[in-house]
Amino acid sequence: MVPGVIPKGTLLYHGAVNNTIPTVPDWTATDPEHSILFCNGSPDTGCWHLTLAATRPLKILYFDGTSAANTLIGPLDTQDIIAWGVSRPDWRFEEDQCLVDLCKWGALYAVDGYVR
């Protein structure tokens, strides 16, 4: 893990199936091509692609480049240990809960987000 900063003015992207801005911890991507993969609405609802701009420098904690892989062989270990105190490979699809718990931990250190 490495601490870092996302500079003010950086564009971040969020693909969704509805036209609401997330009100709970959620993900963003640093490139639109990645986020549009998650923008898979139906022909009736379409796709909503939100573009955000950082209005201040954002303190982040960077996990290694494969740490978003939901596998049993270790890429989530560091996140699990920070969020829950132990590696939980059986919880590899509990990303929403992990994010909530990482944010709770990060609040103690003024962490704005995580890159994984």
Q: What is the mean pLDDT of residues 1-10?
A: 95
Q: Which two tokens stand for residue 71?
A: 């596998």
Q: Where are the domains of the chain?
A: 2-115
Q: Beta 58-62 vs 48-53: how paired, if at all? A: unpaired
Neighbours of 16 (CB within 10 A): 19
Whole-prediction pTM = 0.80
CA distance 67 to 84: 16
According to the model, what pLDDT value does residue 110 have?
Answer: 96
List of residues 6+ apart from 49 with CB closer than 8 A = 13, 14, 15, 16, 32, 35, 36, 39
Which tens digits make up the pLDDT trace of 6-58?
A: 999 999 999 887 788 888 888 888 988 888 888 776 667 678 889 999 999 99
